[in-house]
């Protein structure tokens, strides 16, 4: 474990970075800005370390125009329609930042906060615990929040992410990590394989807002058997979002840590198992990526990374059929997601 300077904010505030390692050779780097995972190095089948997440080589890249790369997203990940919802029959209006809707917490979400990080030695492995406060009324959301996100690089090869939130007033919370994965480092991910343990999904409109239905997966939305990520990208059902940008309902009981997805690269031999306690997971295939300044150089283009964002369903505060993201005083929110890495035979 090591702490270092990741740079300074424009106002001069120091931002710390943290390096975690394990005996398998894995390395994870995280910074206080956005409680962001910047590097995740994993051995491939030849023993060579591959950085499987997009990121930037300096703080400056994260401060620029970029799509939440590696960040902790909140207060509410994904979208809330028309930037409004009801809690206890009281209307709440929040900051719209994607047309009339709110996306990933508003104009200044958790991804733009400087959190306080602290290294920890745990029974599972070395860890960084990030904490922040979110004031009542921030981006329009009610309640003063105390938030903690702990990243642990486990002895057995996982990056485990634990979320804890308490509030002094009824509010909604939906936290996720927005890492962009590429299991052979760079290049198209369309040939990488994906299986999802999700028998249902929530179809959406062209603007990403769900219709409110929960449907059985079929056609391009059926990943119950493994298939290449790009196999159905040109299907007509995906064209209103240019590919996958859809919410899937994870099989099993929400609140229990259970398999959500399995992805692997035949090129590198790296296998990633995703487990979560969250009710849902968003598959995003980087449909609008056109990112310069990435740490390996060049431009990262569309379909060169994918996200598996564990979450409550988009617009769940307005959708009675979906699991509720409402939390209340005295009943803290807790969630866990693990991305576990191994090498295929």
Q: How far apart are CA 76 and CA 202, in angstroms?
A: 18
End-to-end CA distance of the chain: 30
At 178, list the tokens. Answer: 């927005």
Nearest 5°: CA angle at 181, between 308 and 30? 100
At 69, list the tokens. Answer: 């790369």
Looking at 32, 139, 294, 309, which residue is catalytic?
A: 309
Looking at 39, 101, 104, 178, which residue is catalytic?
A: 178
Q: How many residues are given for the chain? A: 345
Give catalytic status of residue 39 as yes or no: no
Q: Which residues, listed in sequence order, are joined to residue 259 by a DSSP beta bridge?
A: 275
Report whether 202 contacts 313 (CB < 8 A). yes
Residue 266: count of CB within 10 angstroms of its CB = 14
Q: Please report the sign of the dihedral spanned by the C-alpha atoms of residue 10, residue 162, residue 221, residue 82.
A: negative
Rounded to 5 degrees, φ, ψ at 239 are: -75, -20
Residue 50 exposure: Cα atoms within 13 Å on the Cβ side? 23
At 159, list the tokens. Answer: 């990056």
Give catalytic status of residue 178 as yes or no: yes
CA proximity to 92, closest of 108, 103, 81: 81
Q: How far apart are CA 54 and CA 195, in angstroms?
A: 21
Q: How far apart are CA 263 and CA 193, in angstroms?
A: 5
CA proximity to 74, closest of 115, 40, 17, 118: 115
Q: Which residues, listed in sequence order, are joined to residue 288 by a DSSP beta bridge?
A: none
The catalytic site residues sit at: 178, 309
């Amino acid at each position: 474990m090591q702490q270092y300077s990741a740079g300074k904010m424009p106002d001069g505030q120091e931002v710390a970075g943290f390096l975690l390692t394990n005996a398998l050779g894995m390395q994870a780097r995280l910074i206080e800005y956005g409680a962001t995972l910047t590097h995740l190095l994993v051995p491939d089948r030849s023993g060579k370390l591959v950085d499987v997440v997009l990121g930037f080589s300096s703080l400056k890249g994260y401060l620029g125009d970029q799509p939440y790369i590696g960040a902790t997203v909140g207060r509410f990940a994904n979208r809330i329609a028309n930037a409004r919802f009801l809690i206890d029959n009281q209307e709440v209006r929040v900051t719209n930042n994607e047309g009339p809707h709110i996306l990933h917490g508003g104009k200044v979400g958790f991804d733009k906060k400087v959190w306080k990080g602290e290294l920890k030695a745990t029974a599972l492995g070395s860890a960084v615990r990030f904490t922040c406060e979110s004031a009542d009324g921030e981006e329009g959301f009610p309640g003063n929040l105390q938030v903690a996100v702990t990243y642990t690089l486990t002895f057995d090869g996982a990056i485990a992410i634990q979320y804890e939130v308490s509030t002094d007033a009824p509010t909604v919370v939906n936290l996720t990590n927005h890492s962009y994965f590429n299991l052979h480092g760079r290049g198209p991910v369309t040939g990488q394989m994906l299986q999802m343990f999700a028998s249902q999904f929530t179809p959406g409109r062209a603007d990403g807002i769900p219709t409110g239905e929960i449907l059985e997966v079929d056609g391009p939305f059926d990943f119950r058997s493994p298939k290449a990520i790009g196999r159905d990208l040109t299907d007509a059902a995906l064209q209103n979002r240019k590919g996958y940008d859809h919410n899937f309902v994870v099989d099993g009981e929400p609140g229990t840590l259970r398999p959500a997805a399995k992805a692997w690269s035949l090129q590198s031999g790296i296998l990633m198992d995703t487990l979560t306690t969250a009710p849902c997971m968003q598959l995003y295939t980087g449909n609008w990526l056109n990112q310069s300044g990435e740490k390996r150089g060049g431009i990262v283009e569309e379909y060169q990374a994918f996200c598996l964002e564990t979450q409550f369903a988009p617009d769940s505060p307005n959708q009675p059929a979906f699991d509720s993201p409402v939390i209340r005083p005295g009943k803290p929110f807790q969630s866990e997601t693990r991305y576990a890495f191994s090498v295929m035979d």
